[in-house]
A and B are shown apart, each in its own frame.
Chain A
Amino acid sequence: MASYDQTDDRQSKGALFGSKGETSSRPALEWSGGENGYLLRIFGDWQVRHVRGIAKEIKKLKCGTAGTGPKGLTVDMAGLSALDTAGAMLILDMNELLKSKGYTPEIVNAREADQILFELISRHPRERGDTEVKSSMVLDLVRDLGETVLSIGRDIIEITAMIGQVTLSLLGLIIRPWRLRFTSLVHHMEHAGLKAVSIISLICFLIGAVIMQQSVEQLRAYSAEYFSIDMLGILALREVGVLLTSIMIAGRSGAAFTAEIGSMKMREEVDAMRALGIDPVETLIVPRVLALVIALPLLTFIGNIMCLAGGAFIAYQVMNIDLQSFVERLNDGVDIRHFYVGLIKTPFVALIIGIVGTLEGMRVQGSAESLGTHVRASVVKSIFLVIILDAAFAMALTAMGI
């Protein structure tokens, strides 16, 4: 096999560092016809950075179809100053094109290195892999619809299965409580619970203030602005506190769970656990779900209080009601059951967020893109399910008269 030819100065000079432009020359083609056949002369640098120019030259080539006359065509490469795989590929393709037009091209004056390139390229046929079949929009729509329905079905089955697995693990923990990963549980309670206090307080305070301000504004027309405290109390304790907190936690901790478990899945850490006989449900999922089930009611309680505080602040600002009167009115107007109704929902909501977040994490496959898809799916699904769950509770509890 011929080694790289050092004495060949064209390659080393022209192609070595062509950026300065002193040795670079534009690619060109020159076509001439003679009695003994045709002559095609190639000039300049046939390199990848000149491909546009080369393509233009080839397009410009006015050769027509070979007539009845001589068909011999000499492709003279003496004027070529540099060649790389892109240029060589285009020359070979051009020859194929000329052949299809009836000529018989023959390359002459090619240097040894260029010969090797031509050989290399013709030795490796450019096969195209199967590209995806283009289908119509209607078919795409139908397919997407079908896939969505199937994926919803799959979600229902897998979420149910995961609830079952987690319950089984939890029951196991009642019998053998020492198997609980206590450090992990506390860690997740800190991250999902304690560190979320400030943001949840702020949001709930602001929304409480907004609700209060709007209801005072509306009820003033009936001189019933005093009742806006009752309204805020019921609304905040029953619905708003829970919903705001859960949606915040779904976006914050649910996404974090998916990303944490997903990146472990990507690096085969989850498989390594299984291989070492460690149950990933017990080590990864149960502590996270349990942490949320403990933390979310506490956070909701804080959220409720901050919501009321926001209302109290506005009541003082707008209606000049001081804190004591506000609390008295709240005591008279709002039954304690509203508080219980709000709070009873939280463990279920926490369970849903935890299960969806960890389940999506376990579904992550090799690529970074897959991680992104599942984090997104985790947030969207858990928020959606939280709202569905809340609606179901609202209807059921109202029907029961609570």
Chain B
Amino acid sequence: MVALEMPRSNPIIEVRHLHKQFGSQVVFENLNLDVYEGEVLGIVGQSGGGKSVLLRCLNGLERYSAGRISFFGQDTAEMSGKDLRHVEARSGLLFQDGALFSALTVLQNIQVPMREHISLPKNIMDELAYLKLALVGLPANAAHKYPSELSGGMRKRAGLARALALDPKIVFLDEPTAGLDPIGANEFDLLIRDLQRTLGLTVFMVTHDLDSIFAICDRVAVLADRKIVRHGSPAELTKDPGHPWIKSYFCGERGRKAQSTAKDTAT
């Protein structure tokens, strides 16, 4: 795979010395992380360890106490409102259950970012929305349905279509395979991989799912003890865990199983 050996010179996101606490509870302490262009980065860590908080911090949904987050080389804290809107338009976010707007149809949901950030002629906006719908593998008759009429997997696909509406450079996925059956989860993994390759996306993925880590992640960053303790390819981390939590995560029964499945499908 080319992506693994690519030069690490071009971080899209740089997180430096991030500090965050809720009341007296410290969530991050001196957290450093780079997200490189064109990679699929998986964030793993204990439940309640702050993975989703990190994702929310990166998206400006949560304030942090100290430190620096830069997008495309620019500190988000120093960005003007206009620049921030550009960053928002260049990054897509898929929430855990899709977070589709329940009063809008799937098609209208996909068009929300288009309406919000740029003005498009109606017919082209429709064409684009139908294209995104097809790209995420939703049937055409889902376009005019409301989110409550869709299954969980379809809602996630629709959420992904909305996240991809403006051709972002980077997409953030919050537990993309949680709540899907193994077949659906596998399909969703492949979809992400496929779109990442063809659209040149950078994917930042918070996940628990060992299968999807071995299937699609180029690099895994482990969030433990309030910082990123290690990062590397899944294979590297399995070979040399270097941290008790990583050892139990990757080298446990389920970790070994997921790894062998990934190997089987690769060969």
Given A3-B197, A129-B144, also A369-B102 (CB < 8 A): yes
CA of A369 to CA of B147 in the docked complex: distance in angstroms? 11
B58 at the interface (CB under 8 A from A): no
CA of A18 to CA of B2 in the docked complex: distance in angstroms? 26
Q: Does B169 lie within 8 Å of A127, measured CB to CB?
A: no
B90 at the interface (CB under 8 A from A): yes
Per-position contact with B for A25-51: 1 when CB-CB < 8 Å, else 0?
000000000000000000000011101
Q: Which of B90, B120, B149, B167 contacts A85 (CB 8 A)?
A: B167
Q: Report B94-130 residues with CB < 8 Å from chain A CB.
A: 102-103, 107, 114, 117-121, 124, 127-128, 130
Q: Report B115-173 residues with CB < 8 Å from chain A CB.
A: 117-121, 124, 127-128, 130-135, 139-144, 146-149, 164, 166-167, 169
B37 at the interface (CB under 8 A from A): yes
CA of A113 to CA of B131 in the docked complex: distance in angstroms? 18
Q: Does B118 lie within 8 Å of A48, measured CB to CB?
A: yes
**Number of contacting residues on B, CB 8 A?**
57
Q: Which residues of B sit under 8 angstroms from A391, Cβ to Cβ? A: none
Q: Does B140 lie within 8 Å of A128, measured CB to CB?
A: yes
B6 at the interface (CB under 8 A from A): yes
Q: Which residues of B sit under 8 angstroms from A120, Cβ to Cβ? A: 135, 198-199
A-B contacts, CB under 8 A, total: 131
A137 at the interface (CB under 8 A from B): no
Q: Does A4 lie within 8 Å of B38, measured CB to CB?
A: yes
Q: Report A43-68 residues with CB < 8 Å from chain B CB.
A: 47-49, 51-52, 55
Q: Does B169 lie within 8 Å of A15, measured CB to CB?
A: yes
B66 at the interface (CB under 8 A from A): no
Q: Which residues of B sit under 8 angstroms from A51, Cβ to Cβ? A: 118, 120-121, 124
In the assembled complex, the CB of B160 is this many whole angstroms from the nearest CB of chain A, namely 13
Q: Which residues of B sit under 8 angstroms from A15, Cβ to Cβ? A: 169
B1 at the interface (CB under 8 A from A): yes
A89 at the interface (CB under 8 A from B): yes
Q: Which residues of A sit under 8 angstroms from B83, Cβ to Cβ? A: 19
Q: Does B148 lie within 8 Å of A48, measured CB to CB?
A: no
B52 at the interface (CB under 8 A from A): no
Q: Which residues of A sit under 8 angstroms from B238, Cβ to Cβ? A: none
B200 at the interface (CB under 8 A from A): yes
Q: Which of A47, A125, A365 contacts B167 (CB 8 A)?
A: A47
CA of A49 to CA of B85 in the docked complex: distance in angstroms? 13
A147 at the interface (CB under 8 A from B): no
Q: Which of B90, B133, B135 contacts A17 (CB 8 A)?
A: B90
CA of A116 to CA of B195 in the docked complex: distance in angstroms? 11
Per-position contact with B for A364-396: 1 when CB-CB < 8 Å, else 0?
011111100000000000000000000000000
Q: Does A125 lie within 8 Å of B142, measured CB to CB?
A: no
Q: Does B72 lie within 8 Å of A113, measured CB to CB?
A: no
In the assembled complex, the CB of B115 is this many whole angstroms from the nearest CB of chain A, namely 12
Chain A residue at minimal CB-CB distance from B167? A84
Q: Which residues of B sit under 8 angstroms from A167, Cβ to Cβ? A: none
A12 at the interface (CB under 8 A from B): yes
Per-position contact with A for B163-205: 1 when CB-CB < 8 Å, else 0?
0101101000000000000000000000000001111110000
Those 3 A-B pairs whose CB atoms lie nearest each other, nearest first: A366-B148, A127-B140, A19-B86
Instruction: List 6 additional contacts besides A365-B148, A367-B147; criterion CB under 8 Å.
Output: A4-B3, A4-B38, A4-B196, A17-B74, A84-B199, A121-B131
Query: Can you name 29 A-B pairs with beta carbons within 8 Å?
Result: A1-B197, A3-B1, A3-B2, A3-B3, A4-B196, A4-B201, A5-B200, A6-B37, A11-B200, A12-B10, A17-B169, A19-B87, A19-B90, A51-B118, A51-B121, A55-B121, A84-B199, A85-B128, A85-B164, A89-B131, A113-B200, A120-B198, A126-B127, A127-B140, A128-B143, A129-B143, A366-B148, A366-B149, A369-B102
